[in-house]
Amino acid sequence: MLRKAACLLPLLFVLAADAAEPPPAWAYGFKATMPPNATPAVVAAPGTVTPPLPDFPLLGLPGTDLKFTPAQIRDNFRPADWFPQDHPTMPDIVAKGKAPVVWACARCHYPNGKGRPENAGISGLPVDYFIAQMKAFRSGERKSADVRKPNTPMMISYAAGMTDEEIRAAAEYYGSMPWTQWIRVVETDRVPQTTLSAGMFLQVPGGADEPLGNRIIEVPEDADAVEVQRDPRIGFIAYVPFGSVKRGEVLVTTGGGKTAACSTCHGPDLRGMTLPEVGALPGLAGRSPSYLVRQLYDIQVGQRHGKRLELMKPVVANLSTDDMLAIAAYLASLPAR
């Protein structure tokens, strides 16, 4: 069946590069390239006690009368829900997780599923695709090329600790909310000076600027509201190099002689499509470019496997990391719906 689907792709793929480039550090939430002897990230054992966050002061946000303390905002098993009117009723696994092993999905991905550059936006994903990815984490078919990134071992641990019923409940909940605009793409050659917080780039208050180079840097529209209050209504700016959106358009729409047009499998509007041979495939339009580059690279170097990914392996085989950057810049610039 996969062979039949693969025939949809242009016969333009030749031998891939002899050696893969190193993981693009910026896409994985680092400033320095992963060294050959990098120490893999580990997940703390269940029940590990971490320094408590303060139960004061009460913090607020525009648009809601609710107030929460820092401890409540970052509670791993019942994180603050600032805008309950913005989403359906959360199943327990999303709202509370399953102590002491599985954090609430809403803790990292927000109740609305928008997520942040260091993890993933999961609202609007096809239910069967979501379930397949959780099972890939559980089985070891989905890993990270940059072993320093902690999200992946965390997800592997959570998937192992969830029942199939809990995974489906999360998939159906997040799949019920469409993906909407969340990222504003800006072409530039200089970006605000940034620091890192748990894999997310944040603007340095009062800082200067710095060269962007061959990177994409995603920062919140309001760093304090996102990092301190975890405001789920505030999206992100993706700074991309001049010309990358146009170059990405060529690669995405035609393949540019190096790959296949993304619409072949992800739909004419790049908002997802179902192929009989492999099932539902996710939308790409308006998604985080950092996340997209991580997935392209992980697939290229063999850190992601599965039925759907058999189609992707020849698609990414000849892409450089600069190609991946351009593809992600263009896809992120597209309207989400």
pLDDT tens for 92-143 read 999 999 999 999 999 999 999 999 999 999 999 999 999 999 999 999 999 9
256 phi-psi bin (left φ>0, alpha ψ -120 to 50, beta other):
left
Q: What is the pLDDT of residue 7?
A: 41
Q: How buried is 161 (Cβ within 10 angstroms: 0-12 exposed, 13-18 middle, 19+ buried)?
A: middle
Q: pLDDT of 21-37, one tens digit each?
A: 999 999 999 999 999 99
User: What are the residue boundaries of the structural domains of the chain, listed by start?
Assistant: 70-175
Q: pLDDT-derived band of residue 49, with 50, 70 and 90 as boundaries?
A: low
Residue 307's pLDDT band (cuts 50, 70, 90): confident
- When pLDDT is cut at 50, 70 and 90, the band that residue 158 belongs to is very high
Q: What is the pLDDT of residues 171-183, one digit of tens each?
A: 999 999 999 999 9
* Whole-prediction pTM: 0.93
- Say yes or no to pLDDT of 275 above 50: yes
- At residue 2, the pLDDT reads 44
Tens-digit pLDDT profile for residues 1-12: 344 444 444 444
Cβ atoms of 145 and 23 within 8 Å: the answer is yes
Distance between start and end Cα atoms, the chain: 31
Higher pLDDT, 277 or 190: 190
Q: Who contacts 256 (Cβ-Cβ below 8 Å, separation ≥6)?
A: 250, 323
Q: In this structure, are residues 117 and 218 in contact, taking their beta carbons and an 8 Å threshold? A: yes
CATH number of 70-175: 1.10.760.10
Q: For 316-330, what is each residue's pLDDT tens digit?
A: 999 999 999 999 999
